[in-house]
A and B are shown apart, each in its own frame.
Chain A
């Protein structure tokens, strides 16, 4: 079945440092979504990418979708303590309703 892997599993940064998580799917995706889950919380939708090579920005966050639509990345510039949480990519393939989550990257930010 479809597998979506993320690296790294965990990253600890000092506030102000940059952070990147990479997402790789075993199959071509129709789109990719990114979610953030704070400790003790639930996943919250951040953004969706649909087109091959697409790049989107949200303030300090930059999201990319690979040319082959099998990989994606999330880059955070100048991290803040509010960025703490687990970042999941999630992709759709053939079945419209089925969203497969990546393994997640847990980000810890300290002062």
Chain B
């Protein structure tokens, strides 16, 4: 069981497509995160939203565009991706304090053709 829901579970897209990944949580958490995870590697932080405001952007290319419409939802808009962007994209949420555990969704497995 996961309390963070990500859709879609799998996505195949061409380099010219535009798509969006979605993440939803109903735990009342006010921090939400996007991570990228390549096979046999740790999750790498991409973006952090705290109280619906972007607080961290880890120098992610502009072809990835995050959005936080409200405290429960987090989107990642994708445009003109490259083959090396193929990875598992994980969403997580927590209370916005450093001593709080992060709760991860199942992820979206993205393949760029």
Q: Tell me the A residues contacting B by CB distance below 8 Å.
A: 30-31, 33, 41-45, 48, 50, 88, 92, 95-104, 106
Q: Tell me the B residues contacting A by CB distance below 8 Å.
A: 2, 31, 33, 40-45, 48, 50, 55-56, 90, 96-99, 101-107
Q: What CA separation (Å) do A101 and B40 show in the bound complex?
A: 13
Please indicate the chain A residues that have their CB under 8 angstroms from the CB of B31 in the complex. 97
Q: Are A45 and B102 neighbours in the complex by a CB distance under 8 Å?
A: yes
Q: Are B90 and A106 neighbours in the complex by a CB distance under 8 Å?
A: no
Q: Are B98 and A96 neighbours in the complex by a CB distance under 8 Å?
A: yes
Closest beta carbon of chain B to A74's beta carbon, Å: 15
Q: What CA separation (Å) do A52 and B45 show in the bound complex?
A: 26
Nearest to B105 among chain A residues (CB) is A42
- Counting residue pairs across A and B whose Cβ atoms lie within 8 Å, the total is 56
Q: What CA separation (Å) do A30 and B90 show in the bound complex?
A: 24
Q: What CA separation (Å) do A12 and B102 show in the bound complex?
A: 28
**Cβ-neighbour of A96 out of B45, B90, B96, B104 (below 8 A):** B96
> Would you list 25 pairs from A and B whose C-beta atoms are within 8 A, ordered by A residue?
A31-B98, A42-B2, A42-B90, A42-B104, A42-B105, A42-B106, A44-B104, A45-B101, A88-B42, A88-B43, A92-B98, A92-B99, A95-B56, A96-B98, A97-B50, A97-B55, A97-B98, A98-B45, A98-B56, A99-B45, A99-B102, A101-B42, A101-B44, A102-B42, A103-B41
Q: Are B40 and A96 neighbours in the complex by a CB distance under 8 Å?
A: no
Closest beta carbon of chain A to B72's beta carbon, Å: 18
**Cβ-neighbour of A97 out of B42, B96, B107 (below 8 A):** B96
Please indicate the chain B residues that have their CB under 8 angstroms from the CB of A101 in the complex. 42-44
Known interface pairs A97-B50, A97-B55, A97-B96. Does A103 touch B42 (Cβ–Cβ under 8 Å)? yes
Q: Are A48 and B99 neighbours in the complex by a CB distance under 8 Å?
A: yes
Q: What CA separation (Å) do A30 and B40 show in the bound complex?
A: 26
Nearest to A42 among chain B residues (CB) is B104
Please indicate the chain B residues that have their CB under 8 angstroms from the CB of A48 in the complex. 99, 101
Q: What CA separation (Å) do A43 and B102 show in the bound complex?
A: 9
Known interface pairs A97-B48, A97-B55. Does A43 touch B90 (Cβ–Cβ under 8 Å)? yes
Closest beta carbon of chain A to B43's beta carbon, Å: 5
